[in-house]
Amino acid sequence: MELLNTSEEVPSSEIPLSSLPVSQRYLNRELSWLAFNYRVLEEAQNVANPLLERLRYLAISDTNLDEFCTVRVANIKGRLESGLDQLTFDGLTLPQQLEMIYSEVIELVREQQHTWQSLRRALADEGIRLVQVNDLDQDDLEWLTGYFMSEVLPVLTPLACDPAHPFPFIPNDGLCMGMKMKDTKSFWSLLPLPPSLPRFIRMGDNPRRDLVRSSSFEGRRWVDQRFLPLEEAIPLFFDRLYPNFKVKRHGLFHVLRDNDTAFEVENSHGSQINLAEHYLRQVKGRKWGHVVRLAFSAGVPDDMRDFITTQLDVDEEDVIEAEGLLNLSDVAQLCNEDRPDLKFQPFEVRFPERIKDWRGDYFGAIASKDLVVHHPYESFDVVVEFLRQAARDPDVLTIKQTLYRTSKISSIVRALVEAAENGKSVTVVVELKARFDEEANIRLAYDLERAGAHIVYGFVDKKTHAKMTLVLRREQRGLRGYAHLGTGNYHPITAKTYTDVSLFTGDDAIVRDVGKIFNYLTGYAVPNRLEKMAMSPINLKSSILAMIDDEINHVREGRPGSMWAKMNSLVDPEVCDALYRASQGGVQIDLIVRGICCLRPGIPGISENIRVKSIVGRFLEHSRIVCFGNGYKLPHKKAKVFITSADWMPRNFHTRVETLIPVHTDSVHAQLLEQVMRSNLRDTRNSWVLGPDGAYRRHTGQPEFSAHEFFLTNPSLSGQGSKSRRKKRETTE
């Protein structure tokens, strides 16, 4: 997919960067995000992936698109309604941007439906069939009647629309059936489909229709399974819902509402509990946001479409018609089928051997040498157990942690509760503004506070996005600190599917830096100097820009200039310009940007030394790693290597608290640089290459190499213990 008009003249090497039109200089942020979602959808079309995993990619693509509409599109429309029609940094007005977004969204929805039809046929070939009412025989109908009357009908609530019954509120992500009723008079009625009901009814066993098949997966056998969409079953029982009326016509629609909540607080130094309650009220009010997209199923009568569109006060450009299944994210239900032959093969999560060598003594293992853990290939339990040991160790005095996102039933939170109940001084910085997790975080904060923890909500005008834990322990030499610093959230569930890096260190300077950052979060104590780390909003961006300039100077002085970086998004114009200058200065730059990338690589004379790729595969690439050659060609043992919580976006640099952490330990340095980064750069199977025209194309390099498969089958370097080292020596010999 091309993001911008590529018919524009490509600049020559004589044109200075400052003279390059912004439309040729940057890619549009929103269209770049839509391009990423196309790549996710392409994985649903990729026959190399197992069938149910392809179906899961389709569901993820639809969920992503819904969130894009409820946040990004809503944000643009909100700015327009407020009279703010400023240009985007790539030179588009807001109406121009919306027009391009609408065009791409329509095409994306069309492609999703096409993919769904293809997957539906493939599922049927594998014995997972979506059926229609006409496919059911008498035995099926008898079973369905019993199921509907006992499990479905009691949950349904038909809602008439007339002067005595105002048009009801349809919540965000609401799926609803509209019906035109007829008896002595005509009126409209709505039937919301409760999210508590399965979207697809798994039909009961029918010996005359179901077939038993043999599976190639370890000789297993399965019974063909049939599913009936809920919206196709409901019309069979209209007479049970409306015994005295006739349904003349009906149709399905799906509502998406504005979720771009802007949290406002008049007194930023007020009570923290009041702050939480204030945010909670605003979050609850979010459900009343304006409708930003209204989708109808194909063939909905014009009068029904007009009635619902008018009642919901939806702009015509926000109304679409889907030729297929509405709310495709619901197909994730089918991915839960017990068909291991149609899913990725399970893998054994490793546990760092060095922790085993120390017999589970985390403090001893970390004190001996820094430790890096590569999730999900290595278990997130190492983070949980580190906290549990700290909670139970009588010599531990203090635990401090940031919480941006975690699971509803969190082993991390339980460990912190245990620590507080054991008399430790526990301080938790809970971010209230983590989108869609605000209510969950407030509940967790209350639970922790009841256990005796000190709860801080950070800043009103900034999000705390840094991932940090600090443990202070009384030892023979005195008080010693241990830190965990990560690229991902303290979320045991997503840690199974997101690639992230955890660094455990006892480095005194880093521990002091972490302590200063916590003091900034809890008491507004701005650090006057950090010894090794950098942080947003103070000096993280300036540190990145300075190191880019250092690489340019290395080339000027006759040394190699090189840079590798891995992140989720690259948006900041100033950083893009710095990378352009570095490319013009001869620095070789390789970027792995999973999602949004506003930089144009490969422009002659501007960015021909920059290569950008995106990896979309089995795991969500989430780790953020930055490497500078430091006068040497990467990879090199003297390179500067960092992990970070920050993507390169204006918000991460200016309105979030983020961290940039240097890696000095040889083994950790080698793992991140020579194993993680080099393997990601070698990847061809899961990779897409960004061209100067803004289009992504699948990597076609040979030999084929998958970073994900490599990490699944190779131990991490710094996590090796004595057993792994012995095995490696024996193999070498």
User: pLDDT at position 716, please?
Assistant: 58
pLDDT of residue 13 exceeding 80, the answer is no
Q: What's the pLDDT score for residue 283?
A: 64
Q: Percent of the chain scored above 90 by pLDDT?
A: 73
Contact 344, 81 (CB under 8 A): no
Helix (H) or strand (E) holding 145: helix 138-147
DSSP codes joined into one string, 598-624 = -B----TTTTTTEEEEEE-SSSEE---
Determine phi and psi for 559, rounding to 5 degrees.
Answer: -105, 165
φ, ψ at 545 (rounded to 5°): -60, -40
User: pLDDT at position 203, please?
Assistant: 92
For 594-637, the pLDDT digits (tens) are 999 999 999 999 999 999 999 999 999 999 999 999 999 999 99
In this prediction, residue 12 carries a pLDDT of: 41
pLDDT of 276 reads 66
Catalytic residue among 250, 278, 375, 465: 465
CA-wise closest residue to 470 among 611, 614, 661 = 661
State the residue for tokens 């004190």. Answer: 367
| Amino acid making up residue 81 | E
Amino acid at the residue 377: Y
| pLDDT above 50 for 518 | yes
- The span from the first CA to the last CA of the chain, in angstroms, equals 51
Residue 454 dihedral angles phi and psi, to the nearest 5° = -85, 125
732: confidence class by pLDDT, cuts 50, 70, 90: very low
Residue identified by tokens 């393997």 is 679
Nearest C-alpha neighbor of 194 from the set 230, 156, 140: 156
| CA nearest to 381, candidates 364, 401, 360, 402 | 360
**Active site (annotated) includes residue 465:** yes
- Say what the pLDDT of residue 272 is: 45
How many contiguous H segments (helices) and E segments (strands) does the chain have?
Answer: 23, 29
Mean pLDDT of 559-581: 97
Distance between CA atoms of residues 571 and 569, nearest Å? 6
Q: Which class for 154: exposed (0-12), middle (13-18), buried (19 or more C-beta within 10 A)?
A: exposed
Q: Which helix (H) or strand (E) holds 535?
A: strand 534-536
In 3D, which of 538, 545, 552, 614 has the Cα closest to residue 576?
545
Residue pair 481/547 in contact (Cβ under 8 Å)? The answer is no
Please, which pLDDT band fits residue 724 given cuts at 50, 70 and 90?
Answer: very low
Q: How far apart are CA 589 and CA 263, in angstroms?
A: 38
Nearest to 122 by CA among 295, 348, 293, 331: 331
Q: Which domains does the chain have, with CATH numbers?
A: 131-269+287-312 (3.30.1840.10), 353-523 (3.30.870.10), 534-715 (3.30.870.10)
Question: In Å, how far are 175, 289, 300, 349 from 169, measured between CA atoms?
Answer: 12, 11, 20, 46
| 670 neighbors 637 (Cβ within 8 angstroms) | yes
- pLDDT at residue number 284: 63
In the structure, what pLDDT confidence band is assigned to residue 729 with cuts at 50, 70 and 90?
very low
Alpha carbons 663 and 639: distance in angstroms, whole number: 10
Q: Are strands 396-403 and 467-475 parallel, antiparallel or unpaired?
A: antiparallel
Structure tokens at 145: 């009647």
HEC per residue, 205-238: CCCCCCCEEECCCCCCEEECEEEEEHHHHHHHHH
Going through 224-290 in order, the beta strands assigned E by DSSP cover: 225-229, 246-257
Residue ranges of alpha helices (H) inside 568-664 are 573-584, 650-654
> What's the pLDDT score for residue 288?
72
Computed over every residue of the chain, the mean pLDDT equals 89
Question: Looking at residue 266, what is its pLDDT?
Answer: 52
pLDDT at 703: 85
* Long-range contact pairs involving 356-364 (C-beta distance under 8 Å, separation at least 24): 356/721, 356/723, 357/721, 357/722, 357/723, 360/385, 360/389, 361/389, 362/386, 362/389, 362/390, 362/482, 362/504, 363/389, 363/393, 363/473, 363/482, 363/506
Looking at residue 369, its pLDDT comes to: 93
Q: Is the pLDDT of residue 236 over 70?
A: yes
Lowest mean per-residue pLDDT among 54-68, 106-120, 152-166, 709-723: 709-723
Most confident of 160-174, 215-229, 370-384: 370-384
Q: Which residues lie below 8 Å from residue 436, measured CB to CB, with a gap of 6+?
A: 259
CA 706 from chain center: how many Å? 21
User: What separation in angstroms does the CA of 309 have from each of 99, 293, 314, 322?
Assistant: 20, 10, 5, 15
The mean pLDDT value for 673-695 works out to: 95
Q: Are 466 and 647 in contact (CB under 8 A)?
A: no
Predicted confidence (pLDDT) at residue 709 exceeds the cutoff of 70: yes
Q: Percent of the chain, pLDDT > 70?
A: 88
Give me the pLDDT at residue 730, please: 44
| Angle, helix 29-45 to helix 51-68, in steps of 10 degrees | 160
Q: pLDDT value at position 373?
A: 94
